[in-house]
Amino acid sequence: MSTALEFLLESSVPDRVPICALFGDDDYLKREVLLKIRQGKAADYFTGRETEWRDVRDALTTISLFGDAAETVVVEDADTFVTEYRDKLEDWVASPQGNRTLVLEVKKWPKTTRLAKATAKAGQAFDCGLPSDNKGGKLSKFTTSAKKWLTARASQVHQTKLDRNACERLFDLLPTSLGLLDQEVAKLALLTDSGKKIDVGLVEANVGDVRTRQTWDMIDAMADGRAAEAMRQLDRLLSAGEAPIALLGQVAYTLRKFATASRLVEQTEAAGGRPSLQQIAGKAGFWKKEDAVRQLKQISRPRASQLAAWLLEVDLAMKGHNSTPPRQRLELERLIVRLSRDAAPARSSAR
């Protein structure tokens, strides 16, 4: 058993094992660990409360004639699934068939159970939770590993260098939420010139505990269709000195995920499948999948399919004919209105 961060910091490619357990309450860590386990290969997904063991076993043992079968079988929200089929899971771990990996995403994984002990011998279990206290230096160790991970992620994913002092400052200003920290680095990467690093000055100019929370509150209100609340948050942020063009970077980072989710739904249906919005949300990069599903339904497919084009329009306008701060604000307000609950999809494409 190891922590998710320890696994993510390993440079080596993980060996394929018959079973992995991802336990804890941080969905972002679970998603990142799963991505590393999959190594870019396809995966079959099941929802624990809605599936039976026979379906999972079939996915693990069926051989594709064309060699394109998924190498990973994932059971999400699997606590009740594990409880109901514990004996079958124990038998399967003792004598696995094929070379596919079964991944169980659970909240709790007591290490004293027979299944947990068998998994420790035959597979892997990753703690994807955040320490609740500092007993034995747990919190300090986690924070040290988190800083190493964030620095590596800035380089590998966001193609920028995160200065050591800037990294320290991010952890001072923000709560220890890896998803939030990653989103802030993504936003800062957009504000750097090509090849330059994120330094402490850039962090202090663009990241603040209260303003950061307000920004994400505004984005949540936009996605929920609560236009009046999103407008209020936008006004507060601009009054506090936030630049509209900087806010657009953060807004676009989230809305592009909804555009990706819409595209994945269409691709799944075109292939004759029945899309699971929970699974689609995870593939699109959301780590709060239940919230993302609710917001995706509110946005609706007609609008979600237009998000990429809308964001490009706003970006070009802010850098062109509407480049003054008041006009840039107007572009953000128009985007908020387009996503509001009162904007019918049939009318949402009208400017």
pLDDT at 346: 55
Start and end residues for every CATH 3.40.50.300 domain found in the chain: 2-127
Q: List the Cα angle 9/26/106 in 5-degree steps.
A: 105
Residues 174-200: pLDDT tens digits? 878 888 899 889 888 988 876 679 998
Task: Quote the CA–CA distance of 309 and 313 in Å, as a whole number.
Answer: 6
Answer whether CATH 3.30.70 is correct for domain 233-338.
no
Integer angstrom CA distances of residue 199 from 98, 112, 129, 196, 214: 49, 46, 29, 9, 23
pLDDT at 309: 93
Query: Could you tell me the pTM of the whole model?
Result: 0.66
pLDDT-derived band at 49, boundaries 50, 70, 90: confident
pLDDT-derived band at 337, boundaries 50, 70, 90: very high
Q: What CATH topology corresponds to 2-127?
A: Rossmann fold (3.40.50)
- For domain 135-207, give its CATH number from 3.40.50.300, 1.10.1380.10, 3.40.50.150, 1.10.8.60: 1.10.8.60
- Which of residues 281 and 344 earns the better pLDDT score? 281
Residue that the structure tokens 């970006």 belong to: 315
Residues 110-163: pLDDT tens digits? 999 999 999 999 999 999 988 866 666 778 888 899 999 999 999 999 989 999
Start and end residues for every CATH 1.20.272 domain found in the chain: 233-338
Residues 270-313: pLDDT tens digits? 888 888 888 888 888 887 788 899 999 999 989 999 999 999 99
Q: In what order do the strands lie in the sheet with 101-106?
A: 2-3, 124-127, 19-23, 101-106, 72-76, 43-47
pLDDT cut 70: percent of the chain above it: 92
Provide the strand spans (E) within the chain.
2-3, 19-23, 43-47, 72-76, 101-106, 124-127
The two tokens of residue 109 are 């994984």
DSSP string for residues in 169-225? HHHHHS-S-HHHHHHHHHHHHHHSPTT--B-HHHHHHH--HHHHHHHHHHHHHHHHT
Q: How many CB atoms lie within 10 A of CB 255?
A: 23
